[in-house]
Amino acid sequence: LWAQAAQKLPTQDMLSLYINWQDAIVPPLDVSAMVRINKADTSRTHWMEVRYHWSHTDLALQLQVNSGGTSSDFGAALQQRIWQLSLRQYF
């Protein structure tokens, strides 16, 4: 029993929520968000994306925020806040 408890994956105690809203506010705009919470160490990661669609091009702005103690699952990440701008061209 001790060996089983010691080898228990920390990801088994996670809560996750993902939300996607297509055609939000204006028709070609999509909004997505996700949060993951590690119940064992109370660290969190949040992610949000706003994506605008044209006929052959997508433009997206993403934000990821990690929080928690320095030795926690998500708090140990080197960057606590990450912004990303993405442009995709489809052929």
Report pTM. Answer: 0.78
CB 62 within 8 A of CB 86: yes
**Looking at the predicted structure, is the pLDDT value of residue 16 above 70?**
yes
Mean pLDDT calculated for residue range 30-56 = 95
Cα dihedral 5/37/86/91 (nearest 10): 60
**Looking at the predicted structure, is the pLDDT value of residue 43 above 80?**
yes
